[in-house]
Chain A
Amino acid sequence: MKRLPLSGVLIPLLSVLVAMFFGGIMIAVQGINPLYTYEVLFETAFLSFDGISVTLAKATPLILSGLAVAICLRAGLFNIGAQGQLISGALASAWAGYYFVGLPKLIHIPLALLFGATFGALAAFIAGALKAYRGVHEVITTIMLNSMVIAIADYLASTPFKEPDQPLTRTPAIQDSARIPDIFGIPFGFFIAIAFSIALWWLLRNTTTGFRIETIGRNRNAGWYAGISVKRVTILSMLVGGSIAGIAGAIETLSITGRFEPAFNAGLGFDGITVALLGRGNPLGVIPAAILIGGMRAAGSTVQFKTGVSPEIVDLLLALILFFVTAPLLARLLKRRHENVAITSGWSN
């Protein structure tokens, strides 16, 4: 893959601007000044210490869910299931967070994270195994698994894991020993997420596993001829993606929400798709993409309060960004060859 030096940065940046232009039209149609709206958005998200702190907290799960999608993209798999994997991990870590009593922090937090990773990976494993052994397209299975995980988690939080003696569908609060602290006002989870980005970037670049993942991502047949077990690498990539998404849910639970409720975590996994594609599938590129989108999410309610634009403007902007970043239109305008991410392989190959 020959990359032109700037296109990796220029196209995502331009697509954000073009998306904001079209989003601005939608805002202007409602009779609100789009420039003022964007000004409020960026001021709230990035121009104060408190704002940045909230932005980074919002970016943390997005970096991880972005990585969960990105690593699978590198293996030629489109993991739409980050949402389900994230929720699976969030519930498992919430359980581990309240069930174990009297553990020291240094054991309890990693244990709860491990629960999150394991159950995130479990949700992804089903899709990976079906892809590897039955050739079922992962896009359909992961979407179906999303709905299944959400329903099952809803059931578990409403019956067996429900907090007793109160009406809400939610688990008990996690123990203090499982709570992830903030460091200088920035959630510690953010640093964990950065560490994962760097680790994955290194893994893809410098290890044989990374090489295998990249090879089957470019050409499954070539990988097969080269003696790579395509099945194993497919499952492995999904497991890595799923466990990272699970950790995203776990960190969100252990540092922000403190328990599991079905309404929590909405959309974090889906935003991961936009983050991954905006970051061009690069584990390091995911970081700025997640911070940008985290900022938009962080500022959503303030924007509504100050301008009256509904916070769903962020959903619209993200959809437009995704459209422009993946459509080769911009690349063509820039007279640069577009690299198509090829993942279509039919329904049953």
Chain B
Amino acid sequence: MRIKTRYPLIVGLVIVFAYFYAQNGIVATSVSFSAIQLALPLALAAMVGVMCERTGIVNIGIEGTMLISAFTAFFLGAIFKDTVLGVLVGIFTGSMMGLLLALMAISWKMDQIIAGVILNILAAGLTSFLYRQNYSIAGTLSPIEIPILSDIPIAGAILSFHGPITYFGIFIVVALWFALYKTSWGLRSRAVGEYPSSADTAGVSVIKLRYLNVTIAGGIGGLAGAYLSLEAVGIFERGFTAGKGFTALAIMIFGRWNPLGAFAAALFFGLAQAVTSQLMIDEVVEIPQQFINILPYVLTIVILAISAGKVRPPAAEGIPYEKEKA
């Protein structure tokens, strides 16, 4: 989002919220609350994309990373009756998926789109083969009441009482933004994503940094998966991620590969979904449920079509790095 459009957009959102709040306060806050819940997995998944692409690796396997992590998080959480352990397992699984992508894309120099698609199909195959019914977890991660925040009238009801992964996720977004733009790691990562050979000349190990970042990003994807199965709903089903990993790529592009921008875009997606569901419940509009469900997909395509050509992805993304031979 450009600076020019950012402020009118925020003002517009506030006016719209105020209007709905005047109509029905409880509904307006509950819609905003669920918008955050819908946005969070998208935002985390978009962070995976941002982190990979900023170092020059296209990760289209976010969907599979989330799916298989949601799976391992849920089943190990259920077997050991320990939800927190489940979250850690999810993060670990995700980082292993990241490592596999790094292996295929960096070391084997495979086409990165194909490598990502392989991750997705492997995850779908493994989870549907190993899926068993009749497992349940001890309980979803319980919401946290933020001390002072929860006393503030409207904001408290919207921003407090989310689960731990939600708050940790928001922390990750901010931390990633800070790390990318304010630390030497970030500068190096961005250099590797834009112009790897000059980063190499400056003494940055392109291969190592790419491996590191793609693996850590995978862990974030694993957290997003754990959020879905352990915090949001507390179940796992086959094909449970329902395209969120792909929508996240559109969100990443919409947010111009910037963590904060992507977070704003994710909130927009979450809000759009939450508002439409509410309109359905209120029977203001009568749209078949199927059309409500495709809203995020339509938005994804529309956003990509609009932003294409106007945004510039990291210059070196998708290209395997090879040292020039003297």
Give A residues with C-beta under 8 Å from B: 26, 78, 80, 126, 130, 134-137, 139-141, 143-145, 147-148, 151-152, 154-155, 158-159, 270, 273-274, 277, 310, 312-313, 315-320, 322-323, 326-329, 340-348
Contacts and interface: CB of A to CB of B under 8 A. Distances in A.
Nearest to B299: A144
B36 interface: no
A328 B108 CA distance: 7
B125 A315 contact: yes
A313 B118 CA distance: 17
B288 A159 contact: yes
A329 B60 contact: no
Which interface residue of B110, B288, B290, B291 has the most chain A CB atoms within 10 A?
Answer: B290
24 contacts: A126-B301, A130-B301, A130-B304, A135-B309, A136-B305, A144-B247, A144-B297, A144-B298, A145-B301, A147-B293, A151-B294, A155-B291, A274-B121, A310-B129, A316-B126, A318-B125, A319-B125, A320-B125, A323-B122, A328-B109, A340-B111, A343-B111, A344-B113, A347-B304
Nearest to B301: A144
Interface in B268-326: 288, 290-291, 293-294, 297-298, 300-301, 304-305, 307-309, 311-313, 317-319
Interface string B114-128: 110110011011101
Which interface residue of B128, B129, B250, B297 has the most chain A CB atoms within 10 A?
Answer: B129
Interface of B: 58, 60, 104, 108-115, 117-118, 121-122, 124-126, 128-129, 131, 242-243, 246-247, 249-250, 253, 288, 290-291, 293-294, 297-298, 300-301, 304-305, 307-309, 311-313, 317-319
Q: What's the dominant secondary structure at chain A's contact region?
A: helix
Contacts of B300: 140, 144
Nearest to B298: A148
A323 B118 contact: yes
Contacts of A154: 290
B86 to A, nearest CB: 21
A136 B308 CA distance: 6
B309 A348 contact: yes
Contact of A347 (B253, B288, B290): B253
A322 B249 CA distance: 23
Given A155-B290, A312-B129, A316-B125, A147 B313 contact: no
B125 to A, nearest CB: 3
A136 B304 contact: yes
B75 to A, nearest CB: 15
A340 B307 contact: no
A315 B288 contact: no
A328 B110 contact: yes
Contacts of A315: 124-125, 128-129
Contacts of B118: 319, 322-323, 326-327
Nearest to B63: A143
B72 to A, nearest CB: 15
B301 A136 contact: yes
A315 B305 CA distance: 33
Which interface residue of B126, B301, B312 has the most chain A CB atoms within 10 A?
Answer: B301
